Chain A
Amino acid sequence: MAINLKPVDVAVVGLGAAGGVAVLPLARAGLKVAGIEAGTWMDPAKDFKPDEIHNNVRSLVTTVPKAKKEIPTFRTSPDAKARQAAAHPMMNAVGGTSIHYHAQSWRLKPWDFKTRSETVKRYGANMLPKGSTLEDWPVSYDELEPYYDIVEHEVGVSGKAGNIQGQLDPAGNVYEGPRQREYPMPALRTCDFLDLMHKAALSLGWKPFHAPAAINSQPYRGRAACAYHGYCDRGGCHVRAKNSTCFTTIPEAQKTKNLTVFDGAQVTRIVADNNGKVTGVLYIRDGKEYFQPAKVVLVSSYTYENTRLLLLSKSKAYPNGLANNHGQVGKHYFGHWDAQAGVGVTALFPMDVNTWYGAMLSQGVVVDEWADDTFDHSGLGFIGGASLCTFMEKHPIAGASVPTFGRAPAWGSKWKQFIHENAGRFTGAYLQTNSFPYENTYLDLDPEVKDPLGDPVCRVTSGPKENETRAAVYAQNKMEEWFRAAGAIEVIKGQPFGPALSTHTYGGTRMGDDPNTNVVDRWGFSYEAPNLGMLGGSVFGTSGARNPTLTMQALAWRTGEHLAKNWKTIAG
């Protein structure tokens, strides 16, 4: 029998990038919050190491192997048999994957929220990607702007504004939507290689700028500035300069005494009564099962687990899974077309570029001319594009794995000579392509593969798409142009094939104004279970051409604030 716990106002499932932010406005409003997290706390001094084998090769920056034991299966078409992927991209700890993420912290563009209507208006309905289920978001950039502003300051983001209330500044991103004020910290420091890329972009007539990042460029609210040691990628920050929620919003919420963190607690079901309201969550902790009653449940366990938890939580009111009486849970799924989806570009320079150290994408120079609807797409056969980013950080095993560009064999003395000369002379670029949901891209439960608890894992169906392939190839050519302008002597472009499992996946519980095609309303609450809210990338309707976390956090804050302001209506 499950042990019944004292009821709380709000149970938040998963204290990662999104849930870890939502707890703060709730706790400050005086609501009693249970933060239920499968992972445990990490200790920066002990757990975070400049060790490529630990961080990257073995993915050991995590506290419990929950994600590793429920790796989704994947297939590229609904007719194919799905196979379990080799690894899960996410980690489990208080703070979640905001511990080892790259921390580039972007606002989406106004266009990202209105892609469908803007495309029809500018190019006609024929330009909409074939088979896509694209809708405008129910939220506009202007509505989200105040929340972007709040989380940029509460979490801590370094950057240079390009558009403050319509005043453009070419030191920042002039293509961004208007913001009310400057970032709380300046961008991370520049260096010779980034200066080289910056200058090359200017020579092409482009408008390069330094990436915005949830990493402190200077001491901020009692936390240290970045040490640029070069183990940011899949590593936690040993000086707490990366603003993972376990160092920022979660401790801040704990100060109110209204947040109780239940760590090491794996939520298995969300429970609903016969009237369709949720009553709490079941979780397992230290081998015992508990029932945490709650007036409201917010689910923030990443895209795959958000969908899986709802589909697993069947009841009389929801025979096909919680909040799924319209059959929309798991639909409108999509992944970002980025380096993991074959959209990589690698360049070799005739001199050492010394990119060993740094802060990954967060110490980067970005070009945004070829993303979103910044340029005229007439006759191009696609909408969207990609942001182009060059960055600082390269680990030694990855450095020795430099492609030989046809200039040497892959082993032996000649190869040794090649890497001796060139491991320090190559670098990659990070391209993120505007990506969209389709009729045949979705999540459901795998019919065969189960986790150790006997529950089916999530099954991902997501194949290659013409629109995104064309956009990616177009952007790769621009990236090659940029590298060549900076003096690269060899450039290799990947073959875009589409995303598999990724840290940038979206949909499954999409947010929209139409309850027949969306799971949650404009505030993030279920159309069916009125006291159930969803947080994270699973509510996104488009990806933007940039990292999702800041938008997840702005939405999470907004959902939390809305709940606190409308407590009686929502909690009932």
Chain B
Amino acid sequence: MSEQRQGEISRRTVIASAAIVPIAALTAVSQTPPPSALSDAQLRLLAAFVDRLIPKDELGPSASESGVPEYINRSLGDYLAGEKTIFIEGLQATDAFAHRSQDRAFIDLSPDKQDAVLTSMESGSAEGFPNARAFFNRARRLTLEGMFGDPYYGGNKNFAGWDLIKYPGPRLATSADDQKMGVDIKPYRHSAYGSGETHGH
């Protein structure tokens, strides 16, 4: 063995503990939901926020009725744990901006005034809230994931998201008829995990 390689190997041995961790260990499905990432007050604010993005109307239930806050809360408790702090700061900054611009907590504003707050954030014109646009876009993106993702993760309750966009549902095989145009494909209201029930994740 050359001297070169010996030096190489002893350095390696020191750091060998940093070796491969199976991804299953990082993403293990827990039997019970993770501890809540958000406080009750933060969850109420989040529900009010996402309900302006997806309001209850004649086309169906709102985001919060469909479990979107639950999806986001669970995600911030496990898969998106690294994002939890910055997300909570975004919620707090939203409320602070509501107080500054509309004189009230976000949840106490009328829907129109809540929309005005969100519109300022979306356009990046929310004064004193430099990350408003990034936070708005992130919250909107997570709302889409919660509303239209598999119900397994806590959102899309009663398949409200899939019904809204007329997505016929995941299945293991589709026939040629399922790919036809101009026919209504019968919705298959099942989670990829076997039922409509949500699970801890």
Contact = CB atoms under 8 A, between A and B. Distances in A.
Interface of A: 1-2, 38, 40, 49-54, 57-58, 60, 62-66, 189, 191-193, 196, 227-231, 238-239, 264, 266, 268-269, 271, 273-274, 282, 284-289, 291, 315-316, 351-354, 356-358, 392, 396-397, 399-401, 410-413, 416-417, 419-420, 423-424, 452-454
A400 B145 CA distance: 9
Contacts, number: 187
A352 B181 contact: yes
A343 B41 CA distance: 44
Contacts of A238: 172
14 contacts: A49-B192, A58-B79, A192-B182, A227-B173, A230-B174, A282-B9, A287-B16, A315-B4, A356-B185, A357-B168, A397-B144, A416-B59, A420-B166, A453-B18
Contacts of A356: 167-168, 185
Interface in B96-126: 115, 118, 122
Contact of B21 (A58, A64, A282, A420): A64
Nearest to A62: B23
B57 interface: yes
Interface string B162-201: 1011111011111010111110010000001100000000
A189 B74 CA distance: 40
Given A192-B180, A289-B16, A352-B182, 5 more contacts: A64-B21, A65-B26, A230-B170, A231-B170, A400-B165
Instruction: Tell me the interface secondary structure of chain A in the complex.
Output: loop
B115 A396 contact: no
A397 B20 contact: no
B191 to A, nearest CB: 8
A285 B193 CA distance: 32
Given A399-B165, A419-B165, A229 B23 contact: no
A202 B27 CA distance: 49
A352 B183 CA distance: 9
B33 interface: no
Contact of A416 (B8, B24, B54): B54
Nearest to A394: B167
A170 B25 CA distance: 51
Contact of B20 (A229, A264, A419, A423): A264
Contacts of B161: 396, 400
B86 interface: no
Given A51-B152, A238-B172, A400 B147 contact: yes
B13 interface: yes
A328 B147 CA distance: 50
B181 A400 contact: no
Interface of B: 2, 4-5, 8-10, 12-13, 15-24, 26-27, 52-55, 57, 59-60, 79, 115, 118, 122, 140, 144-145, 147-150, 152-153, 161-162, 164-168, 170-174, 176, 178-182, 185, 192-193
Contacts of A357: 168, 174, 178-179
B22 A64 contact: yes
A1 B9 contact: yes
A445 to B, nearest CB: 16
A58 B144 CA distance: 14
Nearest to A349: B181
A309 to B, nearest CB: 14
A234 to B, nearest CB: 14
A287 B60 CA distance: 53
Which of A54, A191, A411 has its CB near the most chain B CB atoms (within 10 A)? A411
B144 to A, nearest CB: 5
Nearest to A451: B18
B148 A400 contact: yes
Contacts of B164: 400, 416, 419-420
Contact of B13 (A52, A230, A289, A354): A289
Going nearest first, the 6 A-B pairs with the smallest beta carbon separation are A50-B170, A423-B165, A227-B173, A191-B179, A192-B181, A357-B174
A453 B2 CA distance: 22
Contacts of A63: 22-24
B167 A413 contact: no
Which of B140, B152, B162, B174 has its CB near the most chain A CB atoms (within 10 A)? B174
Given A65-B21, A271-B5, A423 B167 contact: yes
A47 B135 CA distance: 33
A191 B176 contact: yes
Given A63-B22, A411-B53, A420 B59 contact: yes
A62 B20 CA distance: 13
A192 B53 CA distance: 34
A157 to B, nearest CB: 22
Contacts of A231: 170
A417 B58 CA distance: 10
A268 B16 CA distance: 11
Contacts of A269: 8
A150 B96 CA distance: 66
A554 B145 CA distance: 40
A52 to B, nearest CB: 6
A424 B172 contact: no
A402 to B, nearest CB: 9
Contacts of A274: 2
A57 B145 contact: yes
A228 B26 CA distance: 30
A423 B166 contact: yes
A526 B91 CA distance: 56
Nearest to A400: B148
A351 B184 CA distance: 12
A179 to B, nearest CB: 29
A8 B75 CA distance: 46
Which of A63, A228, A396, A420 has its CB near the most chain B CB atoms (within 10 A)? A396
Which of A264, A353, A424 has its CB near the most chain B CB atoms (within 10 A)? A424
Contacts of A65: 21, 23, 26
